[in-house]
Each structure stands twice: as structure tokens, then as C-alpha cells.
Amino acid sequence: MDPRAFLLELAPLSEEARAAYLLSRLPGAKRDGVGNVFAGEGGVLLLAHMDTALPPGPVRLQGGRLYGAGVGDNTAGVAVLLSLPPLPGVVRGFTVGEEGLGNLKGARALVAALNPEVVVAVDGYLPVVVDRALGAIRFRVRFQGPGGHAWGDRGVPHPAFALAEGLKAARALLEGEEASLNATGLRAEAPVNAIPKEAEALLELRALEREVLEGLFRRVEALFREVARAQGLGVSLEVLGTRPVGATATPLLKEAARQALAEIGERPLFLPGSTDASAGVERGIPALALGAYRGGGAHTPEEWVLPESLLEGRRALLAFLRALGVG
């Protein structure tokens, strides 16, 4: 089975249409209560997420590259995993809820239900191997005030400016830390001549160490509360999701990854990351993620992949399973 053909057919499909496509092509496939599709039995759980950061749509082939939102992350991983034959001891799982605020709900549900011995996410670029889970906290911050007329009430506390001040100060807190802070979903809905009653943003804080992640979150929370107090506004913070931090990749898994990439003339590039494999890390199950394709521009409308590289990804994944003694 050719992953390149699967990629072309899957790339423009919605998540629900992808699930139907997979169910029609996987012998004995099932769908669980959260929307995952899976097939097979055994202790090795291979995962590729069906959802994409941006809505999928038409793709175009240009200069040997296939362009389109979500064509790589993780449509390419789904195509590679689907192209494997049924293998003894291996479950192929296609998950929901990996991107955005999905909170790894699909991977967490499958890992909890199947209790595998090993979890491997098929996700990302060759020759990357994610052997360490990057932790994350996603939350909403919302400032509240009285609102009013832009001129007549120009002296009242202003939620939008408080939010801007808080975001700038929060970013400065991360200086010198091995961490990141992202902000999106900024909203302060009101006519241009009205002071909004509320202003909010969605934030994501990431770090490699649990203590750093939790400590930075407490500091950011305290900072927003101080900005609100100083400006006479109300403020609320709501945690929307978390991703685990840590590492459970065993020497055996790492050696299997080395052998897999040697199959295609590569050496593994071990990096931290947040993938479906984190659902295994969270439960103390040996886990890592294997890249499956070559490309770039993830999470942008101009994401691209080299279709031929999916054949390399397939070869490497099969070699990985052989090194584990399954398949």
C-alpha cells in the first residue's frame, strides 16, 4: 500500500471524513466513544492524529512539494501508518484531539482503554525522534470592567489595555527560562467608540521541567492579578488543558529508533516535543514519537511535504517494529 496515494486522498478531507475513510480501509477497525479509529491487537500502540491545526482543504503539487494546510501535520503520519499491513502484536490508532485545545483526549482515551506496553506516535519530520514530553498548560485570562463611552467615560479602567500590559509583562517573565508563552484568541468586543466590558486571550505556557512549568504558571497568574488590582479591574484565569512533561523512552526504544533511521541512511535527532506519545509518558509507559516525512511550514496555510519521503517514513517505521521484535 502506497502512503503517497493515501496522502493525496486524505489531505483535503475533514476530520470526520478522515475517520470514515479509515474505517473503510482498515480490516476490523472500530471507533470509540471519543472518535478514535483503531484496529489490531497487541502491546504496541502506534498513534497518528487525524486532526490538523488549520482546517484542511485543497492541495497543490509544485516543484516536487505538496502544499496545503495540515498536509504534513499530521496527514502524512496518518497516511504512513495506514499504509502498514496488519501486524501481529500491533494496534494502529488514529486519534482525535491532539491539536489546539483537544488536550490529547483521543490518545489518552486509547491508552487508558488498551493499556499498551509501548506507545509510539507517528508524527513529525524525519529524522526527528521525540524522546521527551514537553509539558504545557493552556488557559484563558479575562479582564472585566464597567465599560462605557470611549470619550465620556475615558477615565474608567480599560480591560483591553490591562490585557496588553499583562501580556507584555508575562512574556518578560520567561527571559532566561527554557520555556515558551504563546497568546492567541485576543478579544475585546465592542464598537470602536465604546470601552469594552471584557478583554480576554488564550495562552499556552510550555516548559521541559514540571517545576519550571508550574512555577511560571503561578508567576503569570500572580502578575495578571496584580495588573487587575492596580487598574481597578476584575480578572479570572481558567485552565483549559494540560500536557504531561517527562520521559519514559527506554534504551531499547531509542536503539530501535536508531536502527529504524539507519534503514534510510539517517541518524536520529532526539528532541523534546508534545505529541500523542505524551499520553503514554503520563502513565509511565515506554513511549516516543517517530517522524514520518520530510517537509516544513507546520501550522501554516503553506505547509508542505515531499511525497516521496513518506516511503522513507514507512520503511523506517517497519524497521523500528522489527527492531522491537514485532510485526
Give pLDDT tens digits for 37-90: 999 999 999 999 999 999 999 999 999 999 999 999 999 999 999 999 999 999
Q: Percent of the chain having pLDDT more than 70? A: 100
User: In this model, does residue 151 exceed pLDDT 90?
Assistant: yes
Q: How far is CA 181 from CA 147, 163, 167, 245, in A?
A: 28, 15, 9, 16
Distance between CA 92 and CA 79 in Å, rounded? Answer: 12
For 15, the 3-state DSSP assignment is helix
Structure confidence at residue 269 (pLDDT): 98
E runs forming strands in 78-191: 90-95, 118-122, 128-133, 135-144, 148-149, 179-187
pTM summary value:
0.95
138 is written with which cell numbers? 493552556
Measured CA to CA, the distance from residue 196 to residue 190 in angstroms comes to 5
Whether the predicted pLDDT of 1 surpasses 90: no
Strands 128-133 and 269-273 come out as parallel
Chain centroid offset of residue 71 CA: 15
What is the rounded average pLDDT of the residues 261-285?
Answer: 98
CB 39 within 8 A of CB 86: yes
| CA distance readout (Å), 323 to 103, 119, 202, 316, 327 | 31, 15, 42, 10, 10
Predicted confidence band at 203 (pLDDT cuts at 50, 70, 90)?
very high
